[in-house]
Amino acid sequence: MELSSLPVCTVLPTYNERANIGPLVEGILAHTPPAHRVLVVDDNSPDGTWQVVEELAAAQRRTGEHRVAVLRRIGEKGLTSAIQRGIDIALAEYGAAVVTWMDCDLSMPPTDVPRLVQAIAAGADVAVGSRWVPGGADLAHGLTARTLSRVINGFAGLMVGPQVHDYTSGFIAARAAVLREIRLRGDYGEYCIDLLGRSLRAGYRVVEVPYICVPRHAGESKTGVNLWDYLVKGRKYVAAAWRVRR
């Protein structure tokens, strides 16, 4: 199938990303063909992120386009379940052949989404946006967080396999076949190690696409910013890597 007519859906999990979501959605739409849709899964953000997307979707409908939609989840919360819910809709309702997802704070540039999709079109089953391969970088985090990420990824590399250098990426594109077989597990970023580990074990071709992670545009990180927050999350990452070890 022509890359331009490949049905792709980018799932955008949001919680309080009001100032970021508009430019992110518009950036993705501007750099992808009409067959590429965007689905925001918002957990009823108090800042009204879902409202911004509803307005974008309404503006699109007026021009006869239907590339943007928002699911406002009420009474349900969590990053992993939000992404999985978006994947389920993308596969069942949009007939997506490829699903991508990312952080919605503009730390992952929308211009890199087509590069992940291209990697799939070139034969990969899963494409991982990676900070830790040549051409990639992390300009968003301080030395402590970067060092911890390298340590966790070093451990994950030993446990899961050396094919991936950024197991905690969260910037992913995957073929529908992979996502039909493997459902996300976990509640926060640890799902990523788990998904990549199980994909590798199942024999899927996982490739890394370098990208430069930049500081969050507006709002606050949900991971937290101090050493304690990082260690709490880090412990879950280590546990996930141990669970999917070769």
Return d(Cα 229, Cα 215) in angstroms, integer.
18
- The interface partner of residue 80, options being ligand GDP, Mg ion, none and the CB cut-off 5 to 8 Å by kind, is none
CA distances from 189 to 78, 139, 193 (A): 10, 19, 8
Alpha helices (runs of H) in 63-112, residue ranges in sequence order: 79-92
- Kindly state the tokens that stand for 108: 């992952």
Residue with smaller CB distance to ligand GDP, 43 or 208: 43
Contact residues toward ligand GDP (CB under 6 A) are: 13-15, 17, 41-43, 77-79, 82, 103-105, 221-223
Choose between 33 and 224: whose C-beta lies nearer to ligand GDP: 224
Q: Is 138 in the site for Mg ion (CB under 5 A)?
A: no
- Pick the piece of the chain touching Mg ion (CB under 5 A) from 13-21, 64-72, 106-114, 161-169: 106-114
* Minimum distance of ligand GDP from residue 22's CB (angstroms): 14
Question: Among 105, 112, 138, 166, which residue sits at the site for Mg ion (rule: CB under 5 A)?
Answer: 105
Q: Which is nearer to ligand GDP, 105 or 208 (CB)?
A: 105
Q: How far is the CB of 107 from ligand GDP (least distance, A)?
A: 6
Q: Does 166 bind Mg ion (CB under 5 A)?
A: no
Give dist(CA 242, CA 80) in Å, integer.
19
Shortest distance in whole angstroms from residue 220 CB to ligand GDP: 7
Select 114 or 189, whichever has its Cβ closest to ligand GDP. Answer: 189
Provide the CB-side half-sphere exposure for 115 (13 A, CA).
Answer: 16
The β-bridge relationship of strands 126-130 and 98-101 is unpaired
Q: Read off the tokens for 24.
A: 């992110």
Question: Quick one: which of 132, 135, 123, 137 has its CA closest to 151?
Answer: 132
Tell me the site size for Mg ion, rule CB under 5 A: 3
Does residue 16 come out as left (phi exceeding 0), alpha (psi in the -120 to 50 range) or beta? left
By the criterion CB under 5 A, which residues form the site for Mg ion? 103, 105, 107
